[in-house]
Amino acid sequence: MRKNYAKFLFLPLIMIFLISGCWNYREIEGLAIVAGIAVDRGIHHKYLATMEIIGFKPGQESEIESKLVSGEGDSILEAIRNSYNISGQMGYFNHTRALIISQDVAKMGILPITDLLFRSPLIRVSLAILISKEKTAGEVLAARSLNQPIKSFQICEAFAVQQKALSKTAEIKVFEAVNAMGGEGTDLFLPTVGVISNQGQPTMELSGMAVFQQDKLVGLLDGEESKYVLFIRNKVQEGILLENMDREANATLISFKILKNQTWIKPVLAKGKPGVKIAVKTTVDIWELDSPLNYDSEQDRKMLKSQAEKELQANILRIVRKVQQNYGTDIFGFGSQFRSQMPELWKEIKPEWRDYFTQLKVAVKAEVEIQKSGMAIKSLKVED
C-alpha cells in the first residue's frame, strides 16, 4: 500500500518536468512572421514563392508594416526555404492567412501545394486559397492595401464584406479545397483576386471564381457570373440584383437588395436520362429605382415580380450552360445530389459523370418576393 502511495506522489513530479516547456519552442525575435504566400512559376527553377512578412517600421515599434521576400526552388518547400537566405530568418506560419496561386501554376495542378500544406505541422490548413487574375500571384501581394497594412489580412477581411454586400465570390479554405478535389460529384472552384487602379494607386480587388477540373485550372468566371454559381450552391446571403426593364423602349434600372435566399436542387430521371430541377426563393427590397412605375399598384408589383423571376431564372441557366459547354466541370455539385438522393443511379452514371454533366437537362424555377421598397413606395419626381 505504501509503495502505491509513493507512486502517486512521484507521478506529479514527473509531469511537472514533462509539461514545463514546449518541444518546438523558438525565440520569436529570430522568426519571420508570414502573413501570406504567393506561388508563381520560377525563372531558374520550377516555383517562385513570395512571402509577406510582418514587421515594424524603423523607429516606430507600434506601427506595423509588411515586406516581401522571395525564393525559388524545384518544390514549394525548397522555394520557401531558399527565401530564408535573403531574410536571414526562419518562417513562422501560425498567422498565415492567405495563399495566392498564379494561373500558370494552377494549370499545372495545385495538388503539390495542398499536399505540402497538409503534411506540414507548421502551416494551418484553415488559410484561404485564391487564384490570381494577374499574370503573377506576387504582384497581388505587391499592390497597395487601403485600410490594412498587412495585405493578406486585407484579403481575408474582404471576404466578410463580399458575403454581406456583394456575393460575387466565396472564401474557400485549404481543407475545403482538398475535400472538393477528393470528393464525389462536386468539382472545385476557388475565389480570384486581382489588381485595379484606385486614385492612381494599384490595389487589390476580390471578385470572381476560378473553375477547376480535378486539381487543374480550366477557366475563370467574373463576379457577376460567380454570383449565380453561388445562387445554385445556396451560398448567397446578401447582395444586389439588377433588373433592366424595357417598358415601351424606356430603359429602367432597378436595384434589389437581397435579404435572404434559399436554393433547392432535386435530381430527376426523365425518359431514362438524368436531369436537375433547381428551385430558388429570394426575398428582396427595392433600394434604387429609376422608373415612373407606381408600386402601390398591384398590377405594377406583379409585373415587376414576374420580370425579376424571369431574369433570375435566365441568368442561372446561362451560367449553367456556359460551364457545361466551356469547361465540363461540375462546380455546382449536381453529382453530389445524385449521390445523396439517388445513390443507385449514381453508381451507374458515376464513371461517365463528366459526359452526363455536359448533356444534363437543367430546369430553374425562381420565386422573388419583394418585401418592401425601402423608405418610399413611389418613384421620386420633379414637378414642372
Q: What is the pTM of this model?
A: 0.87
Distance CA 316, CA 320 (A): 6
Q: Are strands 31-41 and 47-57 parallel, antiparallel or unpaired?
A: antiparallel
Residues 195 and 238 in one domain: no
What is the pLDDT averaged over residues 112-118?
Answer: 90
Quick: pLDDT tens for 163-182.
Answer: 888 899 999 999 999 999 99
Residues 65 and 133 in one domain: yes
Give the residues across from 289 on adjacent strands: 254
Read off the C-alpha cell for 177: 479545397
Which domain does 246 fall in, by range? 225-378
Q: What is the pLDDT of residue 4?
A: 56
Residues 212 and 277 in one domain: no
- Is position 328 within any domain? yes
- Is position 2 within any domain? no
Q: What is the pLDDT of residue 23?
A: 43
Residues 163 and 242 in one domain: no
For residue 209, pLDDT beyond 50: yes
For every residue of 142-157, DSSP letters joined together read HSBPSS-SSHHHHHHH
Quick: pLDDT tens for 237-285.
Answer: 899 998 776 655 556 788 899 999 999 999 999 888 999 999 999 999 9
Q: What is the pLDDT of residue 259?
A: 93
- Is position 33 within any domain? yes
Read off the C-alpha cell for 187: 468539382
For every residue of 76-140, DSSP letters joined together read HHHHHHHTHHHHSSEEE-TT--EEEE-HHHHHH-SHHHHHHHHH-SSS-TTSEEEEESSS-SHHH
Q: For the chain, what is the total number of helices (H) and then of strands (E)?
A: 13, 13
* DSSP, res 164: I
- Is position 351 within any domain? yes
Residues 210 and 232 in one domain: no
Quick: pLDDT tens for 153-163.
Answer: 999 899 988 88
Q: What is the pLDDT of residue 375?
A: 45
What is the pLDDT averaged over residues 190-206?
Answer: 89
- Is position 316 within any domain? yes
Residues 261 and 128 in one domain: no
Distance CA 130, CA 210 (A): 8
